[in-house]
Amino acid sequence: MEINGVEIEDTFAEAFPIKIARVLITAATKHWAEVAALEATGFGTSVIMCPAEAGIEKFVGPEETPDGRPGVYIQICTFGYESLEHQLLERLGQCVLTAPTTAVFNGLPDAEKQFNVGFKLKFFGDGMESETEVAGRKMYSIPIMEGDFLVEENIGAVAGIAGGNFFIFGDSQMTALTAAEVAVDAIKDMEGTITPFPGGIVASGSKAGFNNYKFMKATANEKFCPSIRDKVEGTEIPEGVKAVYELVINGLDEDAIQGAMKAGIEAAIAVPGVSKITAGNYGGKLGKYKFHLKDLV
């Protein structure tokens, strides 16, 4: 199938189950909410080696937050609920509690699974903490040097999906990068998803396992590396393609990932010089979720 002269390969992105917590961080200004969110989601690109996958979902205005201040939703993702709670405690305690003017609210208040993260963080107050309420939500007020840090008692989590993806082929590095950037911008408007890699873009897409180095869990996906196209049997790089970028998408449910992939692909194929869109999968052996590109566009 072709759209705007861009080949959309008849394949699917293969995704897998993951546990996701959703947190709302507010602050006196959007700048400080973003600073705290970036710190809390740092070192969160891939569970291959990171303790969690994490990223910014969306920014919201004061009219959409419990305390009437600018806010940002983040997602933190791990394979198990126990490790997820551990990551919440570490990231919120070390990266948000320490940031100027911030407060933390439950991003999934209706979820069945709830962690009492706020209750545990309150002990930083060393006995001087207190209970309060904001917009009907039970909060803990922890005295700190700038005033008081407010954190909601519970943070909710759900069984979500990780690994939605698509690849962008371009006639130059800047072409492919521009297409990836506009795709990320389009996905930023979609609720319920994150693109956890740097700036939302994967420059070094990998394959599971190895060809030569047995001590590696994941290695370069050589079939998608343009610089060694002539050296790789079964290369996936067509003539004239100079760069490939991947977008990886995690989300709260299938609809969220489908919507994000659709928005991203449609934005990418509008960039001149993009020749092909494909996706990564392991023939259905990695995860139970399959997002067929032809169904999205």
Domain ranges, ordered by start, for the chain: 2-14+160-295, 18-158
The half-sphere exposure of 220 on its side-chain side, counting CA atoms within 13 A, is 13
Q: What is the mean pLDDT of residues 113-126?
A: 98
Residue 231, H or E segment = none
Evaluate if residue 286 carries a pLDDT over 90.
no
CB 164 within 8 Å of CB 260:
yes
Q: In terms of Cα–Cα distance, which of 293, 297, 288 is closest to 14?
A: 288
E strand residue ranges, 128-280 = 130-134, 137-144, 147-152, 155-170, 193-194, 206-208, 218-220, 243-251, 274-278
What is the pTM for the complete model shown? 0.95
Evaluate if residue 128 carries a pLDDT over 90.
yes
122, 128, 131, 134: CA torsion to nearest 10: -80
Q: Return the number of other C-beta atoms located less than 10 Å from residue 214's C-beta.
A: 7
Q: What confidence tens digit (pLDDT) does each residue in 180-235 have?
A: 999 999 999 889 999 999 999 999 999 989 999 999 999 999 999 999 999 999 99
pLDDT value at residue 236: 96
Q: What is the mean pLDDT of residues 157-184?
A: 98
- Tokens found for residue 99: 């940031």
pLDDT value at residue 5: 93
pLDDT value at residue 110: 98
Domain with residues 18-158, CATH architecture: 2-Layer Sandwich (3.30)
Same topology between domain 2-14+160-295 and domain 18-158:
yes
Q: Which residues have a Cβ under 8 Å from the Cβ of 276 and sit 6 or more positions away?
A: 6, 7, 8, 9, 167, 169, 238, 241
Element counts in the chain: helices (H) and strands (E): 6, 17
Mapping DSSP to helix (H, G, I), strand (E, B) and coil, where does residue 215 land? Answer: coil
- Calculate what percentage of the chain has a pLDDT beyond 70: 100
pLDDT value at residue 284: 80
What is the distance between the alpha carbons of residues 68 and 263, in angstroms, rounded to a whole number?
A: 30
What is the topology classification, in CATH, of domain 2-14+160-295? Alpha-Beta Plaits (3.30.70)
Could you identify the residue written with the tokens 């991003």?
107
E strand residue ranges, 79-136 = 103-106, 113-115, 130-134
What is the distance between the alpha carbons of residues 111 and 121, in angstroms, rounded to a whole number?
A: 20
Strand partners, 142: 149
